[in-house]
Chain A
Amino acid sequence: MKSLMDPCCQRCAHRPETPCREYLRCRTEGPLCHDDEQCRKARLERIEAVEGATPAQRPMQNLIHESRRWRLLLCAGTGCIASGGAPVVAALREVVEERGMSNQVAIVLTGCHGFCEQGPIVVVEPGNTFYRRVSAADVRDIVDTHLIGGQKVDRLLYRLPGGEAVASYPEIPFYARQHRIVLANCGHINPEDLGEYLARQGYRGFLKALAMERAAVIAEVKRSGLRGRGGAGFLTGQKWEFTADAPGEEKYIVCNADEGDPGAFMDRSVLEGDPHAVLEGMLVAGYAIGAREGYIYVRAEYPLAIRRLRTAIAQAEACGLLGENILASGFSFRVYVKAGAGAFVCGEETALLTSIEGNRGMPRVRPPYPAVKGLWSKPTNINNVETLANIPHILRRGADWYAAMGVGRSKGSKVFALTGKVNNTGLVEVPMGLSLREIIFAIGGGIQGGKAFKAVQIGGPSGGCLPESLLDTPVDYESLLEAGAMVGSGGLVVMDESTCMVDIARYFLNFTQQESCGKCAPCREGTKRMLEIVTRITEGEGRLEDLEALEKLAAVIKDTSLCGLGQSAPNPVLTTLRYFRDEYEAHIHDQRCPAGRCAALLTYRIDADKCRGCTLCARRCPVGCITGKPREAYAIDETRCIKCGACLECCKFGAVIRR
């Protein structure tokens, strides 16, 4: 028996076409149809080899798989691959081979650990040692010093701001305060191995659902208080109920994996790191609602996610967890992957459905809601990736367990993509209701380069920018809405003093204006006008009445747009106007950009007294507009300067002055 998915012996009768009812339990609890100590032991060993990865649950030392002493987890997520992960994998395989340790070391390629900033990441088990920024050259040290010599490689360990090294994964502050449910498997299992998912209690939620009445499954999800993680926060159980109650035999489940929000990448990590969790969520939803087919609509920009999903679907089909008569229950379900074609608006549910049907991804008026009239005019339930990935946990551990987390009407945990000018960027999963301050400072480790915090942008183009005075706002659906922002997809972009808020408003308007599908005038024309006004302000041509016009336009666009894209498009402008009005006023009245960002309002020159003629700025200048003689003062030709600020950043003597 090589994998958990293999039959234990001749007596195993399970085939996808003639499924065994006890198949899943059999794989994780040992054979149930025959009594064989040999088969049972082999199964448990396979499970322990994977399960041991949960540090808190079991002390690994007792459970190391006999033949493999070490388990090396290498992140194969997009982030770590981009940071140079592939050569590390290759080098590790080579060194392990060279040392003749192939049968002692299991090299496991996992999904994203979420701490992309520190990639490529290598975790050594047992002991949960976390090595960061590992290069191919470091691999020999890990094998020789750690695996053979029993000493940790100090220089590769994560360091606290004070310089103290932290060896163990769960003790790193970034992880210590998180509460990982959806991300629990990401980085700990091989996403391309169904056996590993099963060993971590995978498909147990679905198993439980199958034993329940359909209505009871929906009631359980309702009771958990889970709300849509795609942004709008509608009660998931209720949505399921609507679709289940809608008349019609043919129904569909759609997984919205069109993560187009700039600054959010949690769906990508879940799809890449734990694709079976999404499939399991879809299976549960399909069973509860009475659907026989499911679609996953994924962004074409996520090739790795698409590949892993297809692998997961093929594996589940091969052992009868997808397809006809699943586990002899009479329930049949198939899942198809649809690659998007690059349109932000396709994240909106009605637009997404039209796109699957092969049309331009334009939204339509609701009602009728997709629950009644969706894909090919049949009742359709659409859930976001993260929502679906929560479902297996809710079924397995119960609604009460889930509802005990969070605050008020926001239950459970939420994954945030923490990015921008913060020290620890990455994916953060926390119980709902934690304050922004805790997320940004305790988990995120504060602002880069010791600069001052200015704002945090939440929820992408639909969200808003919150100032320092609101840092103690609990992160939940209601509180954020009240502050003028939105949980949205869960992007948290931290901005420091060098970010101009008017420029940020312009950035988001430019985005929504470009991505507007053009079907309705308020969104198509309104955002265009707003962009024109804000652009004018950033160029120092703003007028006093502009702010009023912006507010008026924003109100109309919010009220009259057809879909969520337009209705929320003015949010970034409205929140920046609400909390950073002084910056707009400085641009309009004084033609000055307080953050020193808006290029049209800046001039660069060199202070001749301070310049030592080191030539660095002249070499860095991308347009070659800085001239002079070495060891004499240099000068900037303002007519040719593109105001990129490269000279300011590289000058060691503080001679470049920006105004």
Chain B
Amino acid sequence: MAECRCRRADQQKDQTVHTGQTDHTVYTGQTGQTDRTKRETEKDRRLAALLEKYREERGALIPLLQGVQEIYGYLPGPAMERIARTLRLPAAQVYGVATFYAQFHFAPRGRHVIRVCLGTACHVRGGARIFEALRRQLGVEDGGTTADLRYTLESVACIGACGLAPVIMIDDDTHGRLTPESLPGILARYE
């Protein structure tokens, strides 16, 4: 997920608040109940610190939403309400902004986000075939997440690596010069 890293960088100054780790295990149910509770409290603590940091800043809504998504992996409803209360904004406005931007999500996402570039260069060089192959292989539609929460598949307008078209990005790694045959090998690298 490209957004993750930038926001991580965003928050490097604030090491105590963000570990920089996106913890997806919570959604997979692989951990025990105590662990889960512990993680949830940890997340709530991070959320509180984040809200405190942006309380008085102008133009804070978007960075705040990005921060919350960094903590939870998506934007949970209760967190959205807390943002609205902290910034003294109507919840409708907070949701209005969050739904406007492609970056924000309202449901848990896969451990690995696959972004398939369908920019002009990739379109001309067969990006649609790559997308189609992934769609079939993973059995999900655009924006969908596999049942085991391993992958989320997304089409994007341009990754900006047009020289390597067709291109996909898995988390922060860019893979270029793809053929449908090369995909299974690449996917296997992401547990």
Closest chain A residue, CB of each to CB of B136: A622
Is A265's CB under 8 angstroms from B102's CB?
no
Number of interface residues of A (CB under 8 A): 69
In the complex, the answer to whether A79 meets B123 with C-beta atoms within 8 Å is no
Which residue from chain B places its CB closest to the CB of A508 in the assembled complex? Answer: B120
A102 on the interface (CB 8 Å rule)? no
Task: Determine if B158 and A263 form an interchain contact, defined as CB atoms under 8 angstroms apart.
Answer: yes
Report yes or no: B119 in contact with A262, Cβ–Cβ below 8 A. yes
Give the complex CA separation of A337 and B9 in angstroms: 11
Residue of B nearest to A518 (CB): B100
Q: When the two chains form their complex, are residues A83 and B164 in contact, meaning their CB atoms are under 8 A apart?
A: yes
Give complex CA distance A417, B164 in Å: 12
B157:A344 contact, CB within 8 angstroms: yes
Decide yes or no: A301 and B159 within 8 Å by CB, A262-B119, A376-B58 being known contacts.
yes
Q: Which of A619-635 contact B (CB under 8 A)?
A: 620, 622-623
In the complex, whether A526 has a CB less than 8 A from a CB of chain B is no
Contact A81 B9, CB 8 Å, known A301-B160, A358-B60: no
Contact across chains for B2 and A493 when beta carbons are under 8 A apart: no
CA distance A268 to B100 in the complex (A): 24
Pair B161/A78 contact, Cβ less than 8 Å: yes
Which of B30-38, B44-52, B172-180 is near enough to bind chain A? B172-180
| Contact between B2 and A301, CB atoms less than 8 A apart | yes
Chain A residues with Cβ below 8 Å from B158 are 260-265, 301
Does A331 sit within 8 A of B, measured CB to CB?
Answer: no
Chain B contact surface mostly: helix
B68: Cβ under 8 A from any A Cβ: no
Among A343, A420, A511, A642, contact of B101 (Cβ-Cβ < 8 Å): A343
User: How far does the alpha carbon of A485 sit from the alpha carbon of B125 in the complex, in Å?
Assistant: 22
Contact yes or no, A341 B132, CB < 8 A:
no
Residue B97 lies at the interface, judged by CB distance under 8 Å to chain A = yes
Report Cα–Cα, A261/B162, bound state, in Å.
11
A262 touches B124 (CB 8 A): no
Given A307-B9, A360-B96, A493-B124, residue A116 in contact with residue B180 (CB < 8 A): no
* A339 proximity list for chain B (CB < 8 A): 3, 6-7, 10, 63, 66
A286-310 to B contact mask, C-beta < 8 Å, 1/0: 0000000000001111110011001
Q: How far is the CA of A78 from the CA of B164 in the complex (A)?
A: 10
CB of A356 closer than 8 Å to a CB of B = yes
Residues of B within 8 A of A376 (CB): 58
Shortest Cβ distance from A298 into B: residue? B6
A425 at the interface (CB under 8 A from B): yes
Q: Tell me if B149 counts as interface (CB < 8 A to partner A).
A: no
- Min CB distance B182 to A, Å, is 13
A593 close to B (CB within 8 Å): no
Q: In the complex, what's the smallest C-beta–C-beta distance from A155 to chain B, in angstroms?
A: 19
Beyond A264-B158, A360-B96, A460-B120: 7 further Cβ-contacts under 8 Å? A79-B164, A117-B163, A119-B164, A339-B66, A359-B61, A425-B163, A508-B120
26 A-B pairs (CB sep. < 8 Å): A79-B174, A119-B163, A119-B164, A260-B157, A262-B158, A265-B160, A298-B6, A299-B160, A300-B2, A300-B66, A301-B159, A303-B2, A307-B6, A338-B62, A341-B3, A341-B66, A342-B103, A344-B157, A360-B97, A420-B124, A420-B125, A425-B165, A493-B121, A495-B124, A499-B124, A623-B136
- Which of B's residues lie within 8 Å of A, judged by CB? 2-7, 9-10, 12, 58-63, 65-66, 96-97, 100-104, 118-121, 123-125, 129, 132-133, 136, 156-165, 167, 172-177, 180-181
